[in-house]
């Protein structure tokens, strides 16, 4: 079954990217709402013989809620809150998906050096966006902080899971930050050519990589 759900995700992803490239928002109702559910199915059937992470499944669910809400401009703040909740749950999931008996591989200055680019990027985005946010300053700044913290928790799995699981999850988390940055820049500062396509390409890739990373950790921890 997992292959069917993965195939469905690939089909819906392709349809979503085509509709965003050609700016056909009316067709997104036939692709966007089915992206995350197909990934949830892929995750569930990939881990059918292993315990499922409720935090991870809830994170994906809130991303699905955010996807649907952001299809309507008037629901932007609610979509933002849904994704913020999702990032908090992803953070909990990253802490679950690491080997508790393995000590941290990144300590002291190593941790600071590795975290610095993430913090710098998030801070830079806030500085650039802040003058343009008006009444959304507080929620957007809070969202940026939670998003950066989620990426840092993915980073701090280094050495406490397999190289494959760490790489998938961290790369997916970074791409999620890139996708949200593109969305914010396009919404608050100025239009980006084919913004919908690039936002969804990075978002779709991020979700698939994170799901694959969690599956990989569960498989190797069996």
In this prediction the pTM is 0.94
Mean pLDDT confidence for 202-207: 98
Mean pLDDT confidence for 135-146: 95
| Long-range contacts of residues 57-62, Cβ cutoff 8 Å, at least 24 apart | 58/86, 58/89, 59/86, 59/87, 59/89, 59/90, 59/92, 59/93, 60/36, 60/86, 60/207, 60/211, 61/36, 61/86, 62/86, 62/89
% pLDDT > 90, the chain: 81
Whole-number pLDDT of residue 222: 55
Q: Which residues of 44-63 are buried (b: 16+ CB within 10 A; e: fewer)?
A: eebbeeeeebebbbbbbbbb
Cβ contact 212:168 at 8 Å = yes
Question: What CA–CA distance (Å, rounded) separates 215 from 52?
Answer: 10
pLDDT tens for each residue of 76-88: 999 999 999 999 9
Q: Name which residue leads in pLDDT, 49 or 59.
A: 59
Question: What CA–CA distance (Å, rounded) separates 175 from 205?
Answer: 7
Half-sphere exposure of 100 (CA within 13 A, CB side): 1
pLDDT tens for each residue of 57-102: 999 999 999 999 999 989 999 999 999 999 999 999 999 998 877 7
């Amino acid at each position: 079954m997992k292959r069917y759900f993965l195939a469905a995700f690939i089909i819906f992803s392709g349809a979503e990217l085509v509709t965003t490239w050609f700016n056909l928002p009316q067709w997104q109702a036939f692709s966007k709402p089915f992206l995350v559910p197909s990934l949830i199915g892929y995750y569930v059937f990939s881990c059918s013989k292993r315990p499922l992470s409720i935090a991870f499944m809830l994170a994906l669910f809130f991303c699905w809620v955010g996807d649907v809400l952001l299809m309507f401009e008037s629901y932007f703040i609610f979509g933002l809150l849904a994704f913020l909740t999702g990032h908090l749950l992803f953070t909990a999931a990253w802490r679950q998906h690491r080997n508790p008996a393995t000590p941290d591989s990144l300590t002291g200055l190593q941790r600071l050096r590795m975290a610095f680019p993430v913090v710098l990027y998030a801070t830079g985005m806030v500085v650039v966006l802040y003058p343009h946010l008006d009444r959304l300053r507080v929620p957007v700044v809070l969202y940026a902080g939670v998003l950066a913290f989620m990426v840092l928790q993915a980073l701090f799995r280094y050495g406490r899971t397999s190289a494959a699981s760490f790489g998938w999850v961290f790369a997916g988390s970074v791409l999620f930050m890139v996708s949200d940055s593109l969305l914010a820049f396009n919404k608050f500062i100025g239009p980006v050519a084919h913004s919908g396509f690039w936002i969804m390409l990075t978002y779709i890739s991020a979700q698939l990589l994170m799901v694959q990373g969690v599956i990989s950790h569960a498989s190797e921890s069996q």
